[in-house]
Each structure stands twice: as structure tokens, then as C-alpha cells.
């Protein structure tokens, strides 16, 4: 390429922030990072639009009218959460895969602050996108299924938003622990969508205490139960702690 190089002139030094970036700045930065790549934007769009599109398609092809919207909405919320899991994974593991983590830690060497900002940013993105997805799905069902009952829909929407945030944070923790986007994505989905359903067939009492997708559905449908809440919390805490420990120790080679 032909480039015109400007003679190195440094007539004035730019205004520079004196201290470290505040938490709000770091969270905003991480949100921008997540949405500044095609993969991040695609996942955000998929999380927001795939469930309502699925709801519209299912309603359009179904011959029987829907009796109640709560259960389909809960399924749509779970689908959104599964997509947001990938958004979370990419926010952390993607940095290691593309080696951008080097610049991130050069500019903010306190790795715990970076990971906290990433967790907060994907929680915000997850909750926001899950809210959009759930609201749009509800609107679609309202149009296509005018006779269906709306009992418990408020609870389902709330669970969808919470689970969206929880899955995104879990993904960020897993991504930070594995530090390799393809491996983290493959491993996570293999466990959640492959291993746990197989275990469910033989030992349902085990998956009841492990499966995050089943926990989301139970929370949405019943609105109660300490076990599903603990399962979701456990995934968030274990993944985040593992990510923090590994991130703190790993050399950026």
C-alpha cells in the first residue's frame, strides 16, 4: 500500500486522564468491545430476534391454538440464554484467542478489575437483550395467539431477564477459565446440550441439581424452588471464580 507518513511531530501532548479508568468507564468499554465485532453483533441480534422469530414460525405452522403463553415464553427465554452464553464466552476467551488480552492488561493491569467489568458488561447486555427478546416474543404471541391465557407471564419475563444475565456471566467466567474461544464454546455446549440430557435420561435426580437450562424452565414455570435458583447461582459463582483464578495466574505470552 502507499502510505503518506507524517513527520513525527509532537507539538502538543493530548489531554490524558490522570488516574485509572473508573468502573463505569471499564464496563462501557467492555460493552463496546463486545459489540464492535461481527461475531458479537451477530450474537446480540440472534439473542434478541431468534426467539421471537421462532415463536412466530411455531405459531404460524401450528394447527392447534396455544392454550397458554407462559410455557412457550419460558422456552424462548431459555433459547435466548443459551445464545447469551456464547456472547459471554467470546467476551473473555475471544480476547485470549485474538491476543487482544495483551493490550487490555497493558492498559488495565489489575486483572480482577477487568474481569469484574467484563462480568458486569455481559450481565447488562444479557439482561437487556433477554428483555428485548422476551418482550418481542410476548408481542408475537399476542398477535398470533389471541386466545391464549397470559397467566404467569410477568414471572416468566422476569426469569428470562435474570437467566439471560446469569448465562452471559457464566459464559464470561468459562471463557476466562478456558482462554480459548472454540474450546470454551464447544465444551460448554457439549456439557449443557449433550452430557446433561444424557445424564437426565438415566439419573434425573443428578441433573436436577446441575442442569442450568432445566433450572430456568422450572423457575419460569413455577416461580419458586430453592434448587433451581441455587443451580443458576452455582454456575455463575463457580464459573466466575474459576475464571478469576486462572486469569490472575496466567502469563500473557
Partner 1 sequence: MIEVSGLTKQYGERTVVADVSFTLEPGTVTGFLGPNGAGKTTTMRMMTGLVPATSGTALVDGRPYPELPNPGAVVGTLLDASAVHPGRTGRTHLRLLAAAIGVPADRVDEVLDLVGLADAGRRRVGGYSLGMRQRLGIAGALLADPPVLVFDEPANGLDPEGIRWMRDLLREHAARGGTVLLSSHLLGEVEHTVDRLLVIGGGRVVADGSVTELLGADGTVVRAERPADLRSLLEARGHAVTAEPDGRLTVAGATPAQVGAVAASAGLALVDLRPAQHGLEDLFLQLTAAA
Q: Note whether 241 binds partner 1 by CB under 8 A.
A: no
Question: What nine digits make up the cell of 122?
Answer: 455481559
Residue 149 bridge partners (DSSP): 68
The CB-of-129 to partner 1 minimum distance in angstroms stands at 20
**Sign of torsion, CA 229 230 231 232?**
positive
Toward partner 1, which CB reaches closer, 103 or 222? 103
Q: Note whether 142 binds partner 1 by CB under 8 A.
A: no
Q: Note whether 21 binds partner 1 by CB under 8 A.
A: yes
| 3-state DSSP assignment of residue 39 | helix
Toward partner 1, which CB reaches closer, 21 or 135? 21
**Location of C-alpha cell 443428578:** 206
The CB-of-110 to partner 1 minimum distance in angstroms stands at 7
Q: Note whether 201 binds partner 1 by CB under 8 A.
A: no
Q: Is 225 left (phi over 0), alpha (psi -120 to 50) or beta?
A: left
5 to each of 1, 2, 10, 14, how far by Cα in Å?
12, 10, 14, 20
| Pattern 95-114, partner 1, x by CB under 8 A | ---xxx-xxxxxxxxx----
Q: Which stretch binds partner 1 (CB under 8 A): 30-38, 43-51, 57-65, 182-190?
A: 30-38
Toward partner 1, which CB reaches closer, 36 or 147? 36
Contacts 24+ apart (CB under 8 A), 43-48: 43/83, 43/84, 43/86, 43/87, 43/90, 44/87, 44/125, 44/129, 46/83, 47/80, 47/83, 47/84, 47/87, 47/126, 47/129, 47/130, 47/133, 47/164, 48/80, 48/129, 48/132, 48/133, 48/136
Q: Note whether 25 binds partner 1 by CB under 8 A.
A: yes
Q: How many residues bind partner 1 (CB under 8 A)?
A: 43
Q: Note whether 245 binds partner 1 by CB under 8 A.
A: no
The CB-of-246 to partner 1 minimum distance in angstroms stands at 14
Return d(Cα 50, Cα 134) in angstroms, integer.
11
Q: Note whether 71 binds partner 1 by CB under 8 A.
A: no
241 within 8 A of 174, measured Cβ to Cβ: no
Q: Note whether 186 binds partner 1 by CB under 8 A.
A: no
Q: Which stretch binds partner 1 (CB under 8 A): 26-34, 78-86, 165-173, 197-205?
A: 26-34
| Pattern 33-52, partner 1, x by CB under 8 A | x--xxxx-------------
| 3-state DSSP assignment of residue 201 | helix
Q: Which residues bind partner 1 (CB under 8 A)?
A: 1, 3-10, 13-21, 25, 28-29, 32-33, 36-39, 94, 98-100, 102-110, 251-253
Amino acid at each position: 500500500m502507499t502510505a503518506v507518513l507524517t513527520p513525527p511531530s509532537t507539538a502538543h501532548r493530548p489531554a490524558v486522564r490522570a488516574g485509572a479508568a473508573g468502573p463505569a468507564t471499564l464496563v462501557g468499554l467492555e460493552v463496546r468491545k463486545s459489540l464492535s465485532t461481527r461475531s458479537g453483533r451477530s450474537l446480540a441480534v440472534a439473542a434478541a430476534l431468534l426467539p421471537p422469530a421462532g415463536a412466530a414460525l411455531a405459531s404460524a405452522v401450528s394447527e392447534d391454538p396455544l392454550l397458554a403463553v407462559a410455557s412457550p415464553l419460558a422456552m424462548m427465554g431459555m433459547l435466548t440464554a443459551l445464545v447469551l452464553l456464547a456472547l459471554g464466552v467470546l467476551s473473555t476467551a475471544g480476547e485470549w484467542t485474538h491476543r487482544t488480552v495483551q493490550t487490555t492488561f497493558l492498559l488495565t493491569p489489575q486483572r480482577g478489575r477487568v474481569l469484574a467489568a467484563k462480568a458486569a458488561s455481559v450481565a447488562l447486555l444479557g439482561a437487556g437483550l433477554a428483555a428485548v427478546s422476551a418482550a418481542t416474543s410476548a408481542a408475537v404471541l399476542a398477535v398470533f395467539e389471541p386466545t391464549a391465557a397470559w397467566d404467569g407471564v410477568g414471572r416468566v419475563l422476569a426469569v428470562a431477564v435474570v437467566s439471560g444475565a446469569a448465562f452471559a456471566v457464566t459464559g464470561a467466567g468459562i471463557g476466562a477459565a478456558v482462554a480459548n474461544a472454540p474450546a470454551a464454546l464447544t465444551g460448554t455446549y457439549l456439557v449443557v446440550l449433550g452430557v446433561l440430557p444424557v445424564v437426565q435420561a438415566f439419573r434425573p435426580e443428578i441433573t436436577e441439581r446441575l442442569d442450568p437450562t432445566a433450572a430456568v424452565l422450572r423457575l419460569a414455570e413455577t416461580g419458586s424452588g430453592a434448587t433451581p435458583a441455587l443451580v443458576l447461582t452455582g454456575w455463575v459463582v463457580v464459573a466466575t471464580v474459576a475464571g478469576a483464578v486462572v486469569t490472575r495466574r496466567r502469563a500473557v505470552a
